[in-house]
Structure 1
Amino acid sequence: MLKDIVIAEQPVCACVPRDFPLTLRCRAQGSSPLYYQWFLHSESFCKEIPGANQPDLHIVTQQTQLYICRVNDQHHHFAFSHWVKVKVLKDITKGADLLTHESDPNWKSSDLKTNILRLFHYVLPGWEGDPVFITYPNPAHLTSQQPVQFQCCAIGIPAPKYQWYLNGQCLPHRRGRKMQIKAVKPKDCGSYLCCATNAKGERWSEPVELTLEHSPTRQKDIFFAVGKVALIIGNNCYLKHPNLLAPVVDVYELSNFLEKLEFCVISLVDLTHSEMLIAVNKFLQFLDNGVYGLFYYAGHGYERSGRNYMVPIDAPQPYRPENCISVQKILQKMQERRTALNVVLLDTCRKWYNADCALSKVNPLKPFGNTVYGYATCENAEAYEVQDGDSSSGIFMTYLKKHILEEKKVTHMLEDVLEDIGRDPLITGKQVMEIKHTLTESRALTDRICSPQSERLNRKAWDKENELPKQILLFSCGVEVELSFQSVFSNLIHIFARLIQTPSYLTDIRTILYICSDFAELSIPNTCRLGHEDSLLAMGSEGEGADCMLRLPDLQKCQNDIFIKLDLQCTNMGTGVCLQESLEHRIPKPWVARLFSQKDFSLDSAAGSSDDSRSRQRLQSSTNSHTLGHAGGISLGAQSKSSSEPEEHDEGDIFAAK
């Protein structure tokens, strides 16, 4: 039995705005009933707070105060909690007006005023105490030996602790809200940033530069990449959630742009939870020293307390964090690979969801100066896709593709995207892009790849592994059909059949492609899969003039080679006899399937490939007549209606939130 009173839960310090409703908690254990009394330190003495005789003290903050709780029992035993300081930030909105008037040429959208508005409109209604910056340090350009002071401020419960960094290196003795240098020297120049942490999480400030006016002029640095690799995921067709329209188009377009920038691209659509984990792990294996890594996701998602989650297509309704993929964990793993540049682009909603769920455990990100994080929208807001007839594209991608090929620092390129989105009248007040980064070097997505290249990220070898050469199929009746292949995504191929030789005595010639192996059963059925976007993507150069096509989705599920059949039906004009023939063609196990199934996959692996898959060839049927099987392919002239619906918060058929 306890003889003494033991404080089991101490109250914690806090840093909050004025008029914020705050609860201080104290819990104690003892052998008899306990009684609580709260006190505050006012001026030079401590005074009792009338009526504050409960374990929880509810206050509305007005000014900075010190609080303490006394616990006693009926035997006159007592114990005191720790003193806690509640720091109240007074008149911060007034200060914002004074510091950031729009007439000031240094006024920017990321200034104090904007942060305060964001704080009150987005953070406080569901805020759980994780650090939130309301002021950031400002850059400085000085002459030698001048003093300088950087300062920032964050609210948090418990009150945040601060740590400053210079060029990604921790400054051990710089642990206050303010950091002062009495006389600036050349060694002090560089990029500074501050990390605010408490038990609920961490936040990083934006980096600011300290430069000297008379420093020797440096020649512009030229940066190279050892290799470039991108993982792009778009989830369109959900089993238990509304389907989306834009991700499949956005992934397709971004893949094409990144290939122009010499990236080795892994583009995947409609992945389950386990498949997303495998894809990320395989992507991480390609990252190494000097490599540029880019991760992009479009689909359903949400945010809670600074954590972003991606929703797989098989997520239950409702979903929880364990059913989703943490973006912060991916970024953390990317940093561990010591890459030269990490870019994460998240084209998804950041609305709060499932507030009662426990957070995933995420360790603090390393302060390496190589990370760029681009959000399509701001915190607790939605990302929209615009629909134009049969086509749909995300707002973020609409403007990203205008600037992604520009030869400028990646953060500057994204700032151009941000400004364009801000000028779009369709989404004014609905979607505002957000950029976070610790990039200290002027690295760009357009940087060239140095020689020698990374063997695993050699573009020629990469493209060769993904290439399926054209094939010529010869039927016994004399008809020749060319098969061509279009890799729409790494896990989705379109196969086109085109008549190239037809005898003059044959008429009414029709061809049908379909799959004849068990692979057809692996695809998750969803009517969205045969929607308008498929016909748009099929209209590439390979699809021009094709007589029929076959779509092979979910190639990551494939365990063996794929066998397809081409059925031919025609009429002999002389005899009027209807002829039917069928040819079977083997497609080696796709590259992405080998990537998913092998633990130590390399691009040099030739598993599943053979000589007949690397050159044009003619295949001749051994029989004159076959019964037509089930046609799993679709004719290019056929119309397929999509059952996809815009995500929730649809606005007049113009927007659909992801």
Structure 2
Amino acid sequence: MGDWNMRVDTLSEEALRRLAEMLDNTTCGWRQLASVVTEQPRFRCSESELTSCSLQVLSPTGSPGRFLLARLADRSCTLAFLLHCLKRMNHQEAVQYLTTAVTEQIRIVVQPQSQEASEGSRVVLTCKASGPAGLSYQWFRGREEVSLGPELLLSPFSLVHQGSYTCRVNHGENWIFSDWAHIRFIRSVNSSCSSSLFPGSASGLRIVRQPQSQTASEGDTLFLECHAEANPPAQFQWYHNNKPMPEHKTRSLRIPCVTTVHRGLYSCRVYNFYHETWSDTAQVTIGPSSITDATWVDGPATDKVALMIGNMNYIYHTQLCAPMADVHELSNLLRQLDFKVVSLLDLNCQEMHSAVTEFLLLLDKGVYGLLYFAGHGYENYGNSFMVPIDAPASYTSEHCLCVQNVLQRMQEKETGLNILLLDMCRKRNLNDDIILQQGPLKVTANIVFGYATCVDAEAYEVKRDGLSNGIFISFLKQRLCEDEKITVMLDKVAEDMGRCEITRGRQALELRSNLSERRSLTDRIHNSDCPAASSARNLQWGIAHDLPKSRNLLFDCGVKVQLGFAAEFSNIMIIYTRILEKPRDVVSCSAQLTDFPEDLDIDLKKSNQETLVEAGSLLLIKENLPSPEVPSLYTRLRSLQRLKAELTFTVCLHYCYSNMDEDIQERQTVTVGKPLVSKLNLHEPRVPCCSSPPSSFDLLSLEVPESSSFAEALGSDLPASETSSTGSASTTWSYYSQTAVDSATADGPTSSRRANIPEESELFDCDAPKPLTASTSLPPSHGKDTKYKFSNMYNFSSY
């Protein structure tokens, strides 16, 4: 039987690799092991260590499981405790393999010892090993094989025998080498009494490799080595700034994901039963040399831009509820962090391509770019696909947008940070057997993927009365504004999700990142070296969020009507009417809207309603609208991106005089231009342009509103929730750029849910003693204080 009290790293490299393969999964893998080993506090992994484990998937040969096993070995985790933890996880395959590996493991129990011998003496080197039956022994002097068997006899000893010897113990394909034994020739026995075993060392212990000073960046792995020759074998204790590091007692010091707290002086105490010595001192510098430089403290963002897409009303697939609330709440929080946010609901294939193209044009060197998508999706062969609302029943990649392709295009902009948050299913699409050949991604070390669920799993939403949230956003919104490195923040979200009983075993956040520096969503925006280019970016963002100005309409009967506008999303607008003045003899009066263009998506049954909820708006902040004490009528205009011409409609005034019973009507036609995102004409394919950016920009190429300033361009009625701080990065912006894929021809509609590929699970119930209502929606300033109670949910479904 093997020695279970040995450390984990005494296993062969092949055994460690096999164990790691068994732990590299999401259901019973390395994350579960990291949780179980906390039974002993010294094995608890910090958030940065767990992040480093996650990052291993970005390397072709990386393994989170192998990385975690190395961390446990550094803390002297025994094979017995590892087996105990695997049994607690009920990982039967790993338990069986580890038991077999340890039982058959070769372990040297008697090492050959260095000696000094005189001419004619008898020298015996011994090596004994435990393990399976039938072990064989080979002795080497340097690289030359000199003998077989567990003992090596040098007799009579002479000068030609002087040298370094080692023994290889073999069993089949497994083998292990002993320590080196150094045999030194001396002239006589007497001289050996005053001779040192190692030349130049009075202590009998000699350091042969010293730790080296080095510079590392935040997020890097610090690696220091101190090798020594000694008899008995040496032990090691590392010190940081003259303080012992209890968890580092091997000849190699390895600290993953370093931060500025790891800077300073490192040395190693080397000792055995008889002697002690100290290594040289190595100075370790973390981060830029001027760590207090404002550019490092404030963060590297030159601007921050976010594109939010929520697809709900699918033509041929299951309709969703959560994307509307998720996009709205996430948008409000990002605006608090100075992101320029474009929020869009229900886009078809052409519109999604165009929206991404316009988003890419807002990116530039140093800009933080964030893409959030909520809706149906799938993942094939490592590529993730976002499904438009017009995707046919049996859709394939040609009907969808590939996330990795979008990331490639983001990298071309030399962005400071690329964040992709995907709140969608990642099940396999059995209809799609095409393997997309994407070009290689650049090694930019600034990419963060936050998947709402794991590979081959579904993402869920919880339905409430009138309003729903996705599980991912329910937890993300509570952490989004924390001043943490984004990977640390997302790891905390993953932990929060892991504690949720209704999603345990169904949905778990997956983080993928190669982020090498501390980047946070809270990083401040630097002033631009090119103010004109920065103004161009602000102006273009303003164009996509330009609301019509409020106006007063005077009718022949003497009634004055206020016509106002508010944005709910970048492509959804609320128009409200209220009576400002009316003659005394007019007893009843209302102004209703009608005759809208066919391009727009308007629910006529919900138009001209007395409340926002009745009009279909559950989210708009009431501070942006007239006081509820003033009677108003609300109409909600959706799909502004499909508006092909200026928005024209009719205001129909209904009124009645005191001495008449008959209702009288007056009508006025109103044209308000192209509001919000309709100016970008997302319904049109983008014409090709050269891949290299132009050397200069031309503000005349922009469709500039009549207002002469950015503030005027946005209009006095722009809601507070739609404003953003002025950014500061250079860019060149035009309406049409890069080729977009034409919308695919949709298949005929079907009522069968099973037509949606990937197939989604049926709804299941959760207890709901107190269902939440739409009144729980809070303004942006209070978004992060919203408490989400899963005990109140009564309907739970997948995307």
Give the TM-score, by structure 2 length: 0.54
Shift of 1:239: 0.5
1:480 equivalenced with 2:480 (yes/no):
no
1:632-647 to structure 2, matched below 5 A, reads: none
Residues in 1 aligned to 2:299 and 2:619: alpha-carbon distance in whole angstroms: 35
The residue aligned with 2:764 is 651
Q: Which amino acid aligns with 2:569?
A: F
The one-letter code of the counterpart of 2:214 is P
Matched, 1:390 2:466: yes
Contact 2:542 2:714 in 1 (8 A): no
130-139 vs 430-439, which moves further: 130-139
- Indicate the larger mover: 292-301 or 565-574: 565-574
Letter in 2 for 1:581: E
Kept in 2, the 8 Å contact 1:391–1:532? The answer is no
Q: Deviation at 1:613?
A: 9.4
Deviations 1:371-393, CA, capped at 9 Å, x for gaps: 11111111211111112222111
User: Is 1:281 aligned with 2:357?
Assistant: yes
CA distance in 2, matches of 1:377, 1:319: 21
What residue is the counterpart of 1:551 in the other structure? 636
Q: How does 1:399-478 map to 2 (within 5 A)?
A: 399-452=475-528, 454-458=534-538, 462=542, 465-478=545-558
Moved more, 598-607 or 392-401: 598-607
Q: Which runs of 5+ in 2 are unaligned?
A: 1-11, 24-28, 72-208, 222-255, 266-283, 690-696, 718-750, 766-793
SS at 2:481 equivalent:
coil
CA distance in 2, matches of 1:234, 1:113: 31
Q: Counting helix residues as a fraction of each chain, which structure ranks higher?
A: 2
2:214 paired residue number: 186
Moved more, 342-351 or 100-109: 100-109
Shift of 1:356: 5.3
Q: Check 1:614–1:370 CA distance in 2 against 1; reply closer, same or farther (3 A cut).
A: closer
Q: What is the SS of the residue equivalent to 2:651?
A: strand
CA separation in 2, counterparts of 1:322 and 1:553? 26
Aligned equivalent of 1:635 = none
Alignment partner of 2:622 out of 540, 551, 558: 540
* Inter-partner Cα distance in structure 2 for 1:90 and 1:485: 62
Q: 1:555 to 1:478 in 2, by over 3 A?
A: same
- The whole-number CA distance in structure 2 between the counterparts of 1:461 and 1:114 is 34
Structure 2 letter corresponding to 1:318 = S
1:363 is matched with: 439
Q: Which residue of 2 aligns with 1:89?
A: 18
Match of 1:321 among 397, 400, 410: 397
Q: Which residue of 1 aligns with 2:65?
A: 135
The farther-off stretch of 245-254 and 547-556 is 547-556
Residues 1:507 and 2:592 aligned together: no
Q: SS state of the match for residue 67, structure 2?
A: coil
CA contact (8 A) 1:264 1:457 kept: no
Kindly indicate whether residue 598 of structure 2 is the aligned counterpart of residue 520 of structure 1.
yes
Structure 1 unaligned residues grouped into runs of 5+: 1-62, 66-86, 117-122, 124-129, 142-180, 194-206, 618-642
Q: How far off is 1:648 after superposition? A: 4.2
CA–CA distance in 2 between the matches of 1:580 and 1:657?
Answer: 49
Aligned match for 1:310, one of 367, 379, 386: 386
Deviation of 1:258 after TM superposition, in Å, equals: 1.4
> What SS does the corresponding residue of 1:440 show, helix, strand or coil?
coil
- SS of the residue 1:426 aligns to: coil
Change (3 A) 1:114 1:498: closer
1:583 equivalent in alignment to 2:668: yes
Q: CA deviation at 1:408?
A: 2.0
Alignment-derived partner of residue 573 in structure 2: 493
Find the aligned partners of 1:188 and 1:613 in 2 and give their Cα distance: 47
Structure 1 or 2, whichever has the larger Rg, is: 2
Amino acid at match of 2:577: A
- Shift of the 571–605 alpha-carbon distance from structure 1 to 2, 3 Å rule, reads farther
Computed over aligned residues only, the root mean square deviation of the Cα atoms, in angstroms, reads 4.4
Change (3 A) 1:604 1:423: farther
1:480 is displaced (CA, Å) by 1.4
Match of 2:763, SS state, is coil
Say if 1:183 and 1:376 are closer, same or farther in 2 by CA, change over 3 A. same
Give, in whole Å, the separation in 2 of the partners of 1:296 and 1:113: 24
Q: Hey, what does 1:636 align to over in structure 2?
A: none
1:559, CA displacement in angstroms? 2.0
Kept in 2: contact 1:589–1:609 (CA 8 A): no
- Counterpart amino acid of residue 554 in structure 1: S
* Equivalent in the alignment of 1:24: none
Alignment-derived partner of residue 308 in structure 2: 232
Could you tell me which amino acid in structure 2 is paired with residue 135 of structure 1? G
CA distance in 2: counterparts of 1:506 and 1:98, whole angstroms: 76
- Report the Cα offset of residue 282 of structure 1: 1.1
CA distance in 2, matches of 1:285, 1:240: 32
Q: Which residue of 1 aligns with 2:651?
A: 566
Aligned residues: 485
Q: Which residue of 1 aligns with 2:37?
A: 101
How far 1:103 sits from its partner (Å)?
A: 2.5
Whether the 8 Å contact between 1:226 and 1:290 is mirrored in structure 2 is yes
1:526-555 Cα shifts (integer Å, max 9, x gaps): 999999893313563316445322222221
Distance 1:366 1:460, change over 3 A: closer
| Mapped contact 1:343–1:372 kept (Cα < 8 A) | yes
Distance 1:531 1:503, change over 3 A: closer
Counterparts in 2 of 1:615 and 1:137: CA distance versus 1, 3 Å: closer
Whole-angstrom distance in 2 between the partners of 1:582 and 1:251: 37
What is the CA distance between 1:279 and its match in structure 2?
Answer: 0.8
Contact 2:764-2:796 at 8 Å conserved across structures = yes
Alpha carbons of structure 1 residues 109 and 245: separation in structure 2 relative to 1, 3 Å: farther
What letter corresponds to residue 520 of structure 1 in structure 2?
A: E
Deviation, structure 1 residue 310: 0.6
2:392 maps to 1:331: no
| Partner Cα separation in structure 1 for residue 346 and residue 326 of structure 2 | 13
Question: Match of 1:491, as an amino acid?
Answer: N
When residues 456 and 140 of structure 1 are mapped into structure 2, their CA distance, relative to the original with a 3 A threshold, is farther
Instruction: Tell me whether 1:352 sits opposite 2:425 in the alignment.
Output: no
| Alignment check: 8 A CA contact 1:236 1:270 kept | yes
Map 1:15-26 onto structure 2 (within 5 A): none
Change (3 A) 1:608 1:334: closer
Deviations 1:63-101 (A, max 9, x none): 999xxxxxxxxxxxxxxxxxxxxx982696599799973
Q: 1:593 corresponds to which letter in structure 2?
A: S
1:537 partner SS: coil
Cα distance, 1:291–1:88 mapped onto 2, change above 3 Å: closer
Whichever structure has more strand as a proportion of its residues is 1
Q: Distance in 2 between matches of 1:537 and 1:354?
A: 37
Write the distance in 2 (CA, Å) between the matches of 1:255 and 1:114: 26
